[in-house]
Structure 1
């Protein structure tokens, strides 16, 4: 969160309920935030804190519930994996949070990010009032096959069967993790005491593999698409798996299916506000657009490459892997000059 400049309390949503519990806020400073929330830095009895309000829209109540529930679950981790939740005002969708001082991440930031992500995932309560993660659908798969057609890449009969089986495996993945929903660079605060995740508005219950896959597939829901160097990626994935094993006593399979699932999602080429509007895979065949650190076509080519590599020795997705490899080659030929995703976070 970046300071925008000093200000007065003004429309700070800090009513009598919060004042009775925490006292009156001082030194109020607005912070940058997404269009769906308003955030301030304040001081409470001389201690910095953060006030966050989910703005009034049809989904505000749901996003508020998700964030409060996820923060409560995450608070069980030691050392912490998220800021402390100091108080809430459900009527106005307001949270008061511990203030975290962010420092510039180290070169090997991804290792601490992955380690904390595993510990966050392990705080799940299966009975928590959170929605279940939504897997890609047959509509996503159909859009991907249309993309292959747009690129003049033929599909073999076995591809449809492999995709149907993939969708079923993703739909029935064991629900073993508290998912952040958007575990991206920028939603991880690198403090002197370790990494803490913020902004849990999209939290859900699901399988940690779908967010471990972010590291390899390029942070699909994030403006800051990044492809870490192979040595750092390997170290971070190992750190996640080791931490998960230590914390839960269980091992994890490959992220191949999870990465393939992210490839199918055309909505993972655009910001949240634009999702669910059009077929973005088809749109990418007629135009390219920038979102954060990369263009839609850069993201797509990266994901095609990741999945083609992961499926090279995967019998369950052998035909799909050949298809993704051919699609990547055709896309690079049709759209020359596209560079790779950046290797460093902004």
Structure 2
């Protein structure tokens, strides 16, 4: 802690004190610290393991773009750590979705979708700058852009099916390769990476995004899928009523269509969204199925929250409707009638804000 405070204070030219732990993760420590003049800043220090170093590079480069997150006040390549502005304690999208005000939840969803869409649209011309910044903050480990994660997850799914004794439907491997094409470079845009309900603040000045540890350029469809699934890789996942679900997807799509006009064609949009849903379903299946032997909540402290089994079943039910990929859809049905058959996990309910 003393090392972090000294390094961060040196960047700012002031003494820092009263560190308050804001949670962080296994990759990073996040502190709110007081400055000598009575203000506050956020200090984020990263672990020295490869994932921590990769996260540092991504966040330093992403925040340096100055597009959507807190202002970056200093970067220490040696510790490594970042100092950024303190955006305060405004509620997040997770807070309003888990609350009891449907209007606040709807407004928050639309602000989130509009903010992500505008960020994507503004960023299309900035890829070379992001690449330059990533090289500047490089820590000697491969970047996420160099990680063939979609292919790795596809291979992981095939292994899981074999271990579970589930016969692989003919053609699944070829379909997974086709589905993975959504990760190509046809419609790239910047994203903070982890665009989940808790990684933003709904401030008086509008949506402010936080957590750029997975910042990168990826297909807009991989972000758009968060609108429909919803929240493809997140813990704060319940069902959305039909109207808000349609509205947030339309809001995001409108923004990115301004830079990629062909996305106004329904056939193009639907094909990309369906592939992205399949990619994220594979990703979460490989991540969570090994943990589903005994059910548990998806978050250590937040409530209400779905369980691992609830979320997997919800994802598999949606993916089983992707009939344009018959082998993949059949695989989802086999998972529903195999591992999920005896789970007795209740169906995923609506977000609490929409219960009434």
Alignment equivalent of 2:156, drawn from 129, 135, 140:
140
Counterpart CA distance in 1 for 2:82 and 2:112 is 24
* Residue 49 (1) aligns with residue 38 (2): no
Q: Alpha-carbon deviation of 1:333?
A: 4.1
Matched, 1:187 2:187: no
Structure 1 residue 160, shift from structure 2 partner: 4.2
Distance 1:300 1:204 in 2: 26
Aligned with residue 176 of structure 2, among 160, 163, 170 = 163
Q: Do residues 82 (structure 1) and 69 (structure 2) align? A: yes
Tell me which moved more, 251-260 or 12-21: 12-21
Distance 1:211 1:147 in 2: 31
Aligned twin of 2:137: none
Structure 2 residue corresponding to 1:338, chosen from 316, 336, 346: 346
Instruction: Kindly indicate whether the alpha-carbon contact (under 8 Å) linking 2:158 and 2:168 is maintained by their aligned counterparts in 1.
Output: no
1:142 is displaced (CA, Å) by 1.0
- 1:220 and 1:25 mapped to 2: Cα distance? 38
Given the alignment of the two structures, is residue 324 of structure 1 paired with residue 332 of structure 2, yes or no? yes
Deviation at 1:325, TM superposition (A): 4.2
The residue aligned with 1:60 is 52
- Once the two structures are superposed, residues 141-183 of structure 1 have per-residue CA deviations (whole angstroms, 9 ceiling, x without a partner) of 4146448854xxx66434444333223x235353612232211
2:82 equivalent in structure 1: 95
1:44-63 deviation digits (Å, cap 9, x = unpaired): 43433211111333433322
TM-score by length of 2: 0.75
**Residue correspondence of structure 1 range 94-133 to structure 2 within 5 A:** 94-101=81-88, 102-103=90-91, 104-105=95-96, 106-108=104-106, 109-122=108-121, 123-124=123-124, 125-127=126-128, 128=131, 129=134, 131-132=144-145
Aligned equivalents of 1:90 and 1:219: distance in 2? 32
Structure 1 counterpart SS, 2:144: coil
**Structure 2 unaligned residues grouped into runs of 5+:** 97-103, 135-142, 300-304
Q: CA deviation at 1:98?
A: 1.2
The corresponding residue for 2:315 is 303
Q: Does 30-39 or 177-186 show the bigger shift?
A: 30-39
TM-score (norm 1): 0.77
**Would the aligned equivalents of 1:174 and 1:206 in 2 still touch at CA under 8 Å?**
no
Relative to structure 1, the CA distance from residue 343 to residue 11 in structure 2 (aligned partners, 3 Å threshold; closer, same or farther) is same
Q: CA 1:318–1:17 in structure 2 vs 1: closer, same or farther (change >3 Å)?
A: closer
Equivalences, count: 312
Q: CA deviation at 1:187?
A: 0.8
- Please provide the CA RMSD for this pair: 3.0
Equivalent of 2:297 in 271, 290, 297: 290
Greater percentage in helix: 2
Runs (4+) of structure 1 moved beyond 6 Å? none
Give the superposition deviation at 1:237: 0.6
Q: Provide the rounded CA distance (Å) in 2 between the counterparts of 1:194 and 1:221.
A: 24
> In structure 2, do the counterparts of structure 1 residues 253 and 173 end up closer, same or farther at CA, with 3 Å as the change threshold?
farther
Q: Deviations over 1:15-46 (max 9, x none)?
A: 36744644333554332222322222234434
Could you say which residue in structure 2 is the equivalent of 1:275?
Answer: none
CA distance in 1, matches of 2:175, 2:21: 50
Distance 1:258 1:144 in 2: 20
Per-residue deviation, 1:263: 1.5
Larger displacement relative to structure 2 (286-295 or 94-103): 286-295
Pair 1:158–1:194, CA change in 2 (3 A)? same
